[in-house]
Amino acid sequence: MTRIRKYRLVCSANGTRGATFEVGSREITIAEDQESLDLGEIDLPISKTTSLYGKPAPELEGIVGWQDTRPIALKNLRGKVLVLDFFAYYCSICHAHKPDLVKLRDKYERDGLVVLAVHDSSLKTLAEMNAKMEPVFRQVFSGNPPQFPIALDGTGEQSVFNAYGIYAVPAVVLIDQRGRVVRRYHHAGIPELEADVRKLLSGR
C-alpha cells in the first residue's frame, strides 16, 4: 500500500525596487514512491505597500502624537522629497540605521529632503515611547534624539502602518515631490535609497 503524505507549501517573494508580495500557501499531496511534482505557476498578489507605487501617498491621519513638533500633513510637504521611516523600540536593526537617516537628512535637507519617523502602535503614549527609546538614544546618539520629527502611530484602519501596508520593521518608504510613493526599502542603509533621493532632487 502506497503511503501518502500531505504538506502545506508556504510561498513568499521579493521583487525589484523593493516590491513585496502577499504570502500564499498551497496544500500538496505526495506519494511515497513519487519522484517528481509539478506545482505549475504560483501567482502571488502584490502587497499593499507595493500597490501604492506611483500613487498618492496616504495621509498621516492615524498619528496619536508628534515628538517636539506640531502635527505634520503630507499635503504641506508638496515640493519636498520625503523619507518615511517605520520603526519600533524593540527593533535593533531599526536603531542601527537611524544614523544613516541622520546623515541622509544632513546631506540633502537644503536641497529639499524631509525625514520623518513613525513608531508602531505597540506603545500608547509619547511618554512611553520616550522611556523606551531613551537607552537607544543614549547608545546611538550619545543621549540626544535624532533631529527629525518622530510620530507615534495609532491603531485600527486609520493607522499609518495600516495605510501603507507595513507589517514588519524596519521599513522605509520614499515619496516624491508630488506626494507619490516611489518605492519601499528594507532599511535606510541600502545604497539605492540615497541614489533615488539624489535622482529625485536633481529632477532626473
**Mind listing the pLDDT tens digit of every residue in the chain (204 residues)?**
678 888 888 887 778 888 888 888 888 888 888 888 888 888 888 999 999 999 999 999 999 999 888 999 999 999 999 999 999 999 989 988 888 999 999 999 999 999 999 999 999 999 999 899 888 877 776 656 677 899 999 998 889 999 999 999 999 999 999 999 999 999 888 899 999 999 999 986
Per domain, the residue ranges of the chain are 4-46, 55-202
Under DSSP, is residue 185 helix (H, G, I), strand (E, B) or coil? strand
**Letter for the amino acid at 80?**
K
pTM: 0.87
Set of cell numbers at residue 24: 500564499
Q: Rounded distance, CA 133 to CA 88, Å?
A: 9
Classify the phi-psi angles of 96: left when phi > 0, otherwise alpha if psi is within -120 to 50, otherwise beta.
Answer: alpha
Q: Rounded distance, CA 21 to CA 30, Å?
A: 27
pLDDT given for residue 171 in this prediction: 95
How many Cα atoms sit within 13 Å of 131 on the Cβ side?
A: 6
Specify the DSSP class assigned to residue 142. Answer: T
Q: For residue 61, how many other CB atoms are within 10 A of its CB?
A: 13
- The gap from C-alpha 135 to its chain's centroid, in whole angstroms, comes to 23
pLDDT given for residue 204 in this prediction: 64
Q: Which CATH number fits domain 55-202: 3.40.50.150, 3.40.30.10, 1.10.10.10, 1.25.40.10?
A: 3.40.30.10
